[in-house]
């Protein structure tokens, strides 16, 4: 059987998987991104993990067709270059595909992580059957992937789809991307955690706030309702612009559940134009935390021809 390796790099976790030809995960590693201060350390972790998969699963190098990586920032997927990562310092105009291909002696393909999540959900998950879809990953950052007429939309220089870096106010917090008042500065998980600490007077996890909200705790519900409204306002504009069939939302923040999703849906109903708002359906991502890895594996399997 032929395998591919799917890698999903986020601001918090580096997730690496060995995926079979039917896109089932055979082996997986999850590493803490913050353990790798320098980009060379992170690259070495990827190389070591791929070689470990081969050794532990008793494979030969030719059993791996290719390696695909979904990465958290603007990527030139054609040239294989990382422009930069808003939430991981030290990466600027890095020819990552060339570097990894030389070290692994395997074909390597790279793209934006939200594009990979969108690809996986479009082929196998909650966006399957839609012609036009908006896919979001809500985590350390806010990633966006657009499926337009059945294809990933990347823009003129392969750097489009950055919904998290749409400015939502004239003035506001400085964003790690260099912008001001980006959506990410209002609903990234660090921002929500900081608000939760202020509200509850102590450090509290996203999971705890979600559990409190599900039990009807007023302050926790308001926290997630506000996040849903902020996201819903931004999505309303995109719904008017693109007229999608579906919006698919995944990532750690999306685990807040109904209180977040109900707020998003209600806001879009109130703020988007009525025809577009009535058409679009909003779903939680089906593939969960594995979506980015599976999408990257699909890209690898298809030799980047997506």
Question: What would the mean pLDDT of 177-192 be, rounded to a whole number?
Answer: 92
Give the pLDDT confidence score for residue 5 in this predicted structure.
97
Question: What would the mean pLDDT of 142-149 be, rounded to a whole number?
Answer: 94
Question: What would the mean pLDDT of 176-194 be, rounded to a whole number?
Answer: 92
Pick the CATH number of 128-285 from 2.60.40.420, 3.30.420.40, 2.60.40.1580, 3.30.565.10: 3.30.420.40
3-116+290-301 and 128-285, same CATH topology: yes
Confidence class for position 10, pLDDT limits 50, 70, 90: confident
Q: What is the pTM of this model?
A: 0.91
User: Are the C-beta atoms of 293 and 17 separated by less than 8 Å?
Assistant: yes
Give the pLDDT confidence score for residue 188 in this predicted structure.
87
CA-atom Rg of the chain in angstroms: 19
Residue 194: exposure state from Cβ atoms within 10 A (0-12, 13-18, ≥19): exposed
Give the pLDDT confidence score for residue 223 in this predicted structure.
96
CATH tag, 3-116+290-301: 3.30.420.40
Under the phi-then-psi rule, with left for phi > 0, alpha for psi from -120 to 50, and beta for the rest, what region is 294?
alpha
Confidence class for position 252, pLDDT limits 50, 70, 90: confident
**pLDDT 10s digits, 93-104:** 999 999 999 999
- 43 HSE (CA, 13 A, CB side): 18
Angle (CA) 243 246 248, round 5°:
130
Give the pLDDT confidence score for residue 7 in this predicted structure.
97
Closest to 95 (Cα-Cα) out of 78, 80, 75: 80
**pLDDT 10s digits, 283-302:** 999 998 899 999 999 999 98
Confidence class for position 219, pLDDT limits 50, 70, 90: very high
**pLDDT 10s digits, 163-173:** 999 999 999 99
**Residue-range domain boundaries for the chain:** 3-116+290-301, 128-285
Question: What would the mean pLDDT of 157-184 be, rounded to a whole number?
Answer: 92
């Amino acid at each position: 059987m032929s395998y591919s390796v799917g890698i999903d790099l986020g601001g918090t976790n580096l997730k690496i998987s060995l995926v079979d030809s039917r896109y089932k995960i055979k082996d997986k590693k999850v590493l803490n991104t913050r353990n790798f201060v320098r980009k060379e350390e992170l690259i070495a972790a990827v190389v070591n993990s791929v070689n470990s998969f081969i050794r532990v699963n008793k494979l030969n190098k030719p059993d791996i067709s290719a390696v695909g990586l979904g990465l958290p920032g603007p990527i030139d997927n054609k040239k294989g270059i990382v422009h930069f990562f808003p939430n991981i310092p030290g990466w600027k105009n890095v020819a990552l595909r060339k570097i990894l291909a030389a070290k692994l002696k395997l074909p390597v393909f790279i793209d934006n992580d939200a594009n990979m999540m969108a690809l996986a959900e479009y082929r196998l998950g909650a966006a399957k059957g839609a012609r036009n879809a908006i896919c979001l990953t809500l985590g350390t950052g806010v990633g966006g992937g657009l499926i337009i007429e059945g294809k990933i939309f990347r823009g003129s220089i392969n750097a489009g789809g950055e919904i998290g870096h749409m400015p939502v106010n004239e003035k506001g917090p400085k964003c790690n991307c260099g912008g001001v008042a980006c959506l990410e500065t209002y609903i990234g998980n660090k921002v929500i955690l900081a608000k939760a600490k202020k509200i509850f007077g102590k450090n509290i996890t996203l999971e705890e706030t979600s559990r409190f909200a599900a039990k009807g705790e007023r302050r926790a519900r308001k926290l997630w309702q506000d996040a849903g409204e902020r996201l819903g306002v931004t999505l309303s504009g995109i719904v008017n612009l693109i007229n999608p069939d579906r919006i698919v939302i995944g990532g750690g923040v999306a685990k807040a559940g109904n209180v977040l999703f109900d707020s998003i849906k209600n806001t879009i109903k109130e703020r988007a134009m009525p025809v577009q708002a009535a058409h679009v359906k909003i779903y939680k991502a089906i593939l969960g935390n594995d979506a980015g890895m599976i999408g990257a594996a699909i890209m690898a399997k298809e030799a980047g021809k997506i």
